[in-house]
Amino acid sequence: MKFLGINAIFHDPAAALVVDGRIVAAAEEERFSRRKHGKRPLAFSAWELPELAAAWCLREAGLSPEDIDAVAYSYDPSLVVQKPEGDWEDLRTKYAVRAPAFLATALPGLDPGQVSYVPHHVAHAASAGLAAPWRDCAVLVADGRGENVSHLAGRYRGGELEVLAAQELPHSLGLMYEDVTEHLGFLRSSDEYKVMAMASYGRPRHLEALREVIYTTGDGGFRVEPVDWSGYAKALKKGAPWTSDHADLAASVQARLEEVLLELVRWLHERTGERRLALAGGVALNCVANTRLLDEGPFEEIWVQPAAGDSGTALGGALHLAQSYGEPAGPMPDAALGRGFTDEELGAWLDVARVPHTRPADLAAAVAAELAADRIVAWFQGRAEYGPRALGQRSLLAHPGHARNTERLNDVKGREQFRPIAPMVLESRAREIFGRGPVPSPYMLFVHDVHPDWAARIPAVVHVDGTARIQTISPREQPLMARVLSEFEARTGLPVVVNTSLNTAGRPMVDDPRDALECFGSSPVDVLVLGPYVVRRGEVFAS
């Protein structure tokens, strides 16, 4: 059977396809439309569907809309507590009610009667619990909001979800973090990771005060009382310089979030006795908190959905429907579920663009030589990543041994200089360089302490607090990237390469060859590796 999952109601619209018990494709609309996050999370935008992503998923499987057996829409309007007439939130509900008809219009041939509503947090839970490497586990979801709750705690047994707790709105850890994000001059529902990065520069001196207004209730839930953030630090406008007061506020909120999550997972462990925990929801993208849960919490293993935000509910919805129809799918093979291109297609793009290029006999050695010479490499290989992290398919690579490369890459991307960049490392070498976090760690969803004797050798990837958000590389799963790392170590003695997303500020990650060429042409990147082909800036502009 064929199941299409759709996320559209808030932000990060996405589509995913499960066929005959196999995850075939998953992609976010932003990668096609080139609008960051696809759209803003406003009631007015709830009607916008991931039309391009859904159409691509079908093409990838050689299907047409009439071939689909069931569609999961990851929001159930019947669960929404009705707002007073005239409240804009009512508009969102009306759009969701009409979603089957909208989908039938967007995908001609689709029967609107095949569309099923999957509760938002159930879809999040399925994206973790059913996609995880294990069949039985506890599951925790925390984000901004769904229909009427902001959190779910439960467990999966034999593919069936048992909900043990859910926190009703308006109490929300995700919305609380969004409020602080906006107060600090960043874009809410988008830039929360910047607050997490800023927190490392501050002291949690407001922690005691926040414990009075953000607290657990002992029954698997929590409370977030109204907070006047201006009492802790002056509100910032976008781009305004921040001070220690702002960093201290970020540090305090981050610390309290971690404490509350720890209390929630301890409660969940007591109720379930499970050894393993799967996490999803936007809050699960907080890699600092994830590491603390693993380090101090009761669960032996934690798996985080790489598309933990709302885009992941497209996959979760499809997995939930497949399970309910008796065709369970999973686990998730990896995050490379988006678009890919053949060598011939990539070569044709370069020919049409009249861009000089070479095809080295040993691509890994050629790229390692460029990196060892301290050149920035735009890396485009295989199928695009599903989720917000660059994982070796659409990446910017650089030498980690030069401290200036942090500033250099942030300049290339147009990012704030306080933001860290991340390392790739061979899985077999990770433990000698990085501690505390899990190994393997293929999705960049945990932070690791950098061993002191290595910190001075790879300064570009060491954050101000001595940590790094690593990605481990397995030769079995990513043989080409593993060879690049080995060749780079042979030249430099460093088994680590900088990896950050292939994009510039405010733009989605590069997805297709046109995006890659445009990014290369408009930013100070030295080398573009497009599949087997190498494009060097000097050769392009010399011609």
Question: How crowded is the C-beta side of 51, counted as CA atoms within 13 Å?
Answer: 13
Q: How many CB atoms lie within 10 A of CB 61?
A: 18
11 among known catalytic residues: yes
- Provide the pairing of β-strand 276-280 with 115-117: unpaired
Question: How crowded is the C-beta side of 493, counted as CA atoms within 13 Å?
Answer: 4
CB 2 within 8 A of CB 68: yes
Q: Can you tell me whether residue 334 is helix, strand or coil?
A: coil
CB 2 within 8 A of CB 69: yes
Q: Which pair of tokens denotes residue 114?
A: 């095949």
Q: Taking the mean position of all CA atoms in its chain, how far away is CA 303?
A: 13
Burial of 403 (C-beta count, 10 Å sphere; 0-12/13-18/19+): middle
- Backbone phi and psi for residue 322, each to the nearest 5 degrees, phi listed first: -60, -40
DSSP annotation of 427 reads G
If residue 426 lies in a helix (H) or strand (E), which one and from where to where? Answer: strand 422-426
Question: How crowded is the C-beta side of 454, counted as CA atoms within 13 Å?
Answer: 23
Rounded Cα distance between 432 and 451, Å, is: 8
Q: Which of 11, 120, 183, 448 is catalytic?
A: 11
If residue 278 lies in a helix (H) or strand (E), which one and from where to where? Answer: strand 276-280
Catalytic residues: 11
